[in-house]
Every structure is written in C-alpha cells, then in structure tokens.
Amino acid sequence: MNNDLSSKALLSGDNPVEGARCVIDGRERVFYGGYWIRTYPASANSLEAKKSLIEALTRRLFNHTEHGLNIPGSRLAEARQSHEAESDPALKRVKAGMLAGSLFNRAADIFRNLVELQACGVEINSRNELMRECGRCLLEAMELGHCVQHRSGEEGIDELWGEPFRAFTMPIEEFYESRYIKIGQTKRDIDRIADAMADTFAKIPAFARIEPLVRDFAQAARVKTETLRTDPDIFDVWSRMVAAGERLANFSPDEDVAAIPDRHNVSDGLKLIRIGRDLTFFITRARTPMPKSTQEYIERCRVYLSTGRAPTLPTPLPA
C-alpha cells in the first residue's frame, strides 16, 4: 500500500466501498471520496459530550467566519430587533450573521445549564422545553448561515453553520461519520487546486521547477485536514504545512529563464501561486470544502495560461 496515506486511494486491484475501515500503520482509517481518512474515537453520546462538541463547533465557526458575529446569547433580543428593523440589504446581511451568532451562543448557554441540572440529578430528555428551545435556536442560526461569508471574503461556508445543529440532532458517532465525508470532499478540493496550479505552471518555462513544491504543500494540507488539534501529531503536522506553504510562496523563477521573452507575466504568476496557497490554507483550516472559490481559482489559472495575465478578480462562472 502507498505510504502516502493522505493521497487518493488508487490501489491496484483494490476498490474499497464508501465507509470501509481498515488499520494502516497502526491507525484506523475510513474510506470516503477516494481517500483513506484518519479516524478518532467518538465520545459517549451523553448530554455532557454533546455540550462540549457544540461549544467546540461554535468556537470553530466564529474562528473561520467574518469578524463581529460572536454576539452573546444574553443579547439575542437586541440582535433580533436590530436585524428585523434593518432595511438596507448590505447591513441586513451582516446583522443576520450577528443574530445567528447570538442564537448559537444562546443554544450553548442553554445546554451548559442543562448539563449542570443533570449533574444535580434532574432528568433531562429530548421533550424538555429547554432542549426544544436549544434546537430551535440552532436551527434558526443554521438557516441564517447563508448570509455569512468566510473570513477571507471568498464565499460562505454553509456547512460550518449546520454542524452545531447536526451535532445536537444526531448521535455523536453519526456526526463524526458525517465529518469524515466532508474531510474527503475537502481533500478533493485541495487536490483540485494543486492539480490546477501544477498543470498551469508546468507549461510555463519560468515556473517549470515549481511542481514538487505544489505537491509537497498539498500533501501536507491533506494530512492537516484529517488531524485534530488535540492529536499529539499536530505539532509536526501543522509545522510541516506552514513550512511547505512558505517554500511555495517564496518560490523564485529561474532568472535566466525568466529573462527570455514570454507572454506570461511573471509577477501575475507569482501572485496566482500565493492566492492558491492562501486558498488551500483557508480550506484546510476550516476542514470544509469551498467549491465556489476552488472553481474560480481553477478558472483564473486557465485564463493565466491562455492569456499570460491573471484576472484581478475571480472570473464569473457560467450560470
């Protein structure tokens, strides 16, 4: 078996089914979307475990979306009133995100208090009115998620907004399984960006040496995508990705080759490489695919290869 356990599972004579599991180098992995993905043991499906998971997902959400959305749950009424009274579409979009943030925090507040009541011997079940209110808050926040952009401004990440609600409504083990599927899709986008970058710049003499750096960075990004921050390996995994990204961003074309007349603007090419590096970081840290941004980057590479200039803004895709 290929030692690059994060690469596509193109194994001779072996066609694993989706969800198949096996132990590779002492670690269990699950197969989704053409990749063997590192698994982690799911916590017991208790109220305490769900509380911790929802709080972690909410923190992750605020970490990857635009600034200013982390509104305390205690200000929910204010956030709702401000959103409902707003008529300007641009302001209303931002206020929708602020309302969603307050709803997420209100749900976390409710869950936190329910766990404390349960520790005191109070029976809590799904029919409890506070549990129902928690679910309503998470559902409404998820529905508002389409108004929110990724911190980069590239696009929204609706998947992140739906995760706390899914963690609330499904068993933890089932939630983990849904995350593995998304990680497979995330790895796919990382490879699509790397393929576009490598295929584009391999055809341009000044950038002919860059493909190994692209592939090394993509491999490090795939490994980071499947590695939890609590994993002991994270120190090596994260540092390798950062170092690989720095090597890629600092790539210098051969001066002798770059001096040869060519219709490809070298400065535009270097900017396009850094944009691809940054987009890969965004996708990897969020552990969620960004299909719109990925496709736009692929199109920008295509335009650069054919015209010699990289579009300043993403090229509009066909409807």
CA triple 233-287-54, angle to 5 deg: 95
- Tell me, what's the pLDDT at 257? 60
Which strand (E) or helix (H) includes residue 32? strand 27-32
- Domain co-membership, 148 together with 219: no
- Token pair belonging to 275: 């944009």
Let me know if residue 98 belongs to a domain: yes
Residue 195: per-residue pLDDT: 97
Maximum C-alpha span of the chain: 78
Residue 42 lies in a domain: no
Q: How far is CA 48 from CA 37, 38, 41, in A?
A: 27, 25, 16
Question: What pLDDT is recorded for position 84?
Answer: 93
Q: Among 169, 198, 228, which residue terminates a domain?
A: 169
- Can you point out the beta strands (E) in 61-105? none
Q: Based on the domain organization, do 234 and 268 belong to the same domain?
A: yes
Task: Assign 66 a pLDDT band (cuts: 50, 70, 90).
Answer: confident
Asked if pLDDT for residue 310 goes beyond 70, the answer is yes
Q: For position 211, what pLDDT does the model report?
A: 95
Using 50, 70 and 90 to split pLDDT, how confident is the model at 258?
A: low
3-state helix, strand, coil in the chain (%, to 5): 60, 5, 30
Q: Which helix (H) or strand (E) holds 35?
A: strand 35-38
DSSP-based three-state secondary structure for 239 = helix
Report how far residue 90's alpha carbon sits from residue 166's, in angstroms, rounded to the nearest whole number: 29
Indicate if the pLDDT at residue 39 is higher than 70.
Answer: yes
Pick the last residue of a domain from 113, 146, 169: 169
Mean pLDDT of 50-67: 81
Give a yes or no: residue 65 inside a domain: yes
Q: Which phi and psi (to 5°) does residue 74 adopt?
A: -65, -15
Does position 153 have pLDDT exceeding 80, yes or no? no
- Mean pLDDT confidence for 124-151: 82
Looking from the CA of 168 toward its CB, the CA atoms found within 13 Å total: 28
User: From edge to edge, which strands make up the β-sheet containing 27-32?
Assistant: 21-24, 27-32, 35-38
Amino acid 159: pLDDT: 65
Residues 58 and 124 in one domain: yes
Domain termination site, one of 144, 169, 194: 169
Do 301 and 189 fall into the same domain? Answer: yes
Domain shared by 160 and 189, yes or no: no
Instruction: Measure the CA–CA gap between 179 and 303, rounded to whole angstroms.
Output: 34
How much is the average pLDDT of 209-232? Answer: 95
Q: Which domain does 275 fall in, by range?
A: 184-307
| Rounded Cα distance, 256 and 277, in Å | 25
**Total count of domains within the chain:** 2
Q: How much is the mean pLDDT over the chain?
A: 84
Compute φ and ψ for 21, nearest 5 degrees: -125, 145
Query: Is 176 contained in some domain?
Result: no
Specify the pLDDT at position 255. 67
Let me know whether 211 and 242 are in one domain.
yes
Q: Quick one: how far is CA 246 from the chain centroid?
A: 20
Percent of the chain with pLDDT over 70: 87
> Could you tell me if residue 247 is inside a domain?
yes
pLDDT band at residue 158 under the 50/70/90 scheme: low
Q: At 192, which amino acid appears?
A: R
pLDDT band, very low/low/confident/very high, at 319 (cuts 50, 70, 90): very low
Highest mean pLDDT, choosing among 52-66, 128-142, 145-159, 191-205: 191-205
pTM (2 d.p.): 0.78
